[in-house]
Amino acid sequence: MRFQIDTHGIARSLRRIVNRAPAAPRAHLESRSPGRRLRVLLRGGEQGSALVEIALVMPALLAVITAICAFAVAFNNQLTLTQAVGAGAQYLQTVRSNPAAADPCAAAIGAIENAAPNFKPSSISLTLSINGTPETGASCTGGATALANAQGFPVTVSATYPCVLSIMPAGYGTKFIGSCQLSASVTEYEY
């Protein structure tokens, strides 16, 4: 066998290569089942391990992300309710000395509904405590005189609103839905 060195210093064989027709590839007649394909992937080193790891971890990861989002929405609703109750108590404090406010509960619930436009108004339940006497509901006609007579005493406005923590809705196997009750209370003092 003789070698010849080219200009780049690489040795090349001068031997002739006989050109022959490549062998025809054998037809693979048997079909593989999905289980056999998976075994072949798993047996062949680490080729399919990333896919299996993603398939095992992804449902739990998505459930955690969905739970975080559901709790974020509930926390946002809690902050909105607290701010709305504060706005209702402040409005009630401003109309305290106004004799035109015949129904302080309706005035307070109206201010709460205006401060929380995303809430369903019929789901907000209001409790108004004037001079230690609680008034419950969206209307308290006798509360106007009690509010006028309670000059110098604090007024407490409390409201509750239902929330639903839907982490995984029905149709995806296990149903993880919990209900909760958001509540906020603000006491306004007369200065």
Q: Is residue 64 part of a domain?
A: yes
| Helix pair angle (104-115, 49-94), 10° resolution | 140
- Give the CA distances from residue 184 to residues 31, 83, 116, 124, 154, in Å, rounded to whole numbers and listed in that order: 66, 9, 13, 11, 16
At 188, which amino acid appears? E
In a domain, 123, yes or no: yes
Tell me the per-residue pLDDT of 107-141, one tens digit each, with 9 for 90 and over: 888 889 999 988 988 888 888 887 777 777 766 76
In a domain, 14, yes or no: no
Q: Dihedrals φ, ψ of 142, to 5°? A: -80, -5
Q: Quick check: is 110 in a domain?
A: yes
Give 109 or 179, the one with higher predicted confidence: 109
What is the span of the domain harbouring residue 137? 58-188
Number of domains in the chain: 1
Is 152 a member of any domain? yes
Name the band, by pLDDT with cuts 50, 70 and 90, for residue 37: confident
pTM: 0.64
For the chain, first and last CA: distance in Å? 111
Tokens standing for 180?
């909760």
CA distance 139 to 151: 21
